[in-house]
Structure 1
């Protein structure tokens, strides 16, 4: 029996935290090679697509939305155009995004939008693109998009889009302190380059081909939050703190209230606190909320982009 064409499709994709991020030296093309240990979080984006004559995007959600573009620069529209160009599809779609990952918060919310849009439109349009080709499109959209597509725990190298799965066990509990402002990823990288230039004589050698420390992989395999807390690392943290010094107070507050460790998520400004267990995460959430911070709890790792039923 032939299945009736879908009138709409809903998909979800996760935000992420980088439990480790090492940045290589500045290359001639203006980019850096990186080594990232990604963990997909239960804080996710939801995308609903339906047939339309042209492409359009609408956004709603629980986070500040003023910085989300509603024109062709929106990454979901870019994802739709890329899929249509690859498959020869000539129709449009209405793309509705429900956002829960902070915008320009260093947690890959836009990347999750792109991954969910690719998956949902492939199902709506019936284009049936093979998975490896979907991942190829994801790489063209941004360095974090392939991981939002695959989820779980993975190591990213190159620009962060060359993924290899990492063994992980158990569940890690995170409390995320959300800022009222965003940080531009290119600006944070530029500040890191300036920082390294200023302090070049006194810093360690910057590797052109960075790698993830073995201790990080061991902690993830063991599913041990205390082990992981000891090895959390982000080369971009100093740059983010220089651009937004108030984040240092947030880090101190979390660690004073029971976090095993805190780390700037990606390029920031979200601060991710690792807790020992669910009860500890709840207590930390209450303490930070009492200090007038906007916080949410999340767990990881979780699956990547997936179709969900209504």
Structure 2
């Protein structure tokens, strides 16, 4: 008779790049107001949720997964447990994650895992909570999780958790350089605060509230890479480059060899180079690879978390 085959559901969710990122002044509670334009790109995490009595998570894939926590500090595991608690589901789940988004790379890979876990468990358990509840649960897990559920292009404001879709046309071509160093987001923020303090004379006070520049929204609305290249900006870049100065050389290489513009994505250290077309992307990837850097080509925007298959 054999053992009963356990059911499983596989969900794919995208990594993202921050095309624009502005950070307001450090507030009394230790947080910053941020304004970001997110774009989901064609580098996907795949999470398979399999029926189980216990909760567990494991990782594999082409990126180094050795440093990822497998306990309750893991975002995907927390997502699954949160959904179970919310719906009163009494079983567990075995999560298996195929990682392609670099760990601690500023591309929201952990958030994509959490978004995929939410959707996969909802499907597997038949809890059927619906998109808006999944969204509310995602928001509790961090600013990037609701975005990974939705995908596309969106503006994040406040603490990054208030998301609104941005009108976007066409497709943008990116080349990503993936350095071996990981950067910790809290450390990058602290370094930014320190930098602003050190250079207060030149920089002056920071605004408390920030927003995404109109030029950026305009550029994605018409799908114009050259205009977007002009408007791309990341306040965290100065801090990331201070912590990992070796990135400066890579940025300069990319910009001198065909990129319209290059930027540190989010808190880094991933670098995103915007190029005009697929041909340019392939050429720049070659340049970076020959110089000894890990590089990938991706396009954006792409859709958010989606069920791939059910067994």
Q: Do they superpose with TM above 0.5? A: yes
Between the aligned partners of 1:67 and 1:256, the Cα distance in structure 2 is 34
Counting only pairs closer than 5 Å after superposition, residues 25-174 of structure 1 correspond to structure 2 as 25-174=25-174
**Paired residue for 1:7?**
7
Between the aligned partners of 1:146 and 1:201, the Cα distance in structure 2 is 38
**Paired residue for 1:291?**
291
1:197-254 Cα deviation digits (max 9, x unpaired)? 1111211541211000000001001101111001110000000000000000110011
Asked whether the equivalents of residues 6 and 124 of structure 1 are also in contact (C-alpha less than 8 Å), the reply is: no
**Paired residue for 1:304?**
304
**Paired residue for 1:248?**
248
Between the aligned partners of 2:16 and 2:253, the Cα distance in structure 1 is 22
Secondary structure of 2:79 counterpart: helix
Larger deviation, residues 146-155 vs 198-207 = 198-207
1:64-101 Cα deviation digits (max 9, x unpaired)? 11221112211111101111111111100110000000
TM superposition shift of 1:162? 0.4
* Number of aligned residues: 306
Secondary structure of 1:38 counterpart: strand
TM superposition shift of 1:31? 1.1
For structure 1, the 5+ residue unaligned runs are none
Between the aligned partners of 2:83 and 2:36, the Cα distance in structure 1 is 27
RMSD: 1.2
**Paired residue for 2:193?**
193
Between the aligned partners of 1:234 and 1:64, the Cα distance in structure 2 is 26
**Paired residue for 1:236?**
236
**Paired residue for 2:21?**
21
Between the aligned partners of 1:6 and 1:308, the Cα distance in structure 2 is 17
Secondary structure of 1:21 counterpart: strand
Secondary structure of 2:209 counterpart: coil
Between the aligned partners of 1:227 and 1:67, the Cα distance in structure 2 is 39
Secondary structure of 1:309 counterpart: strand
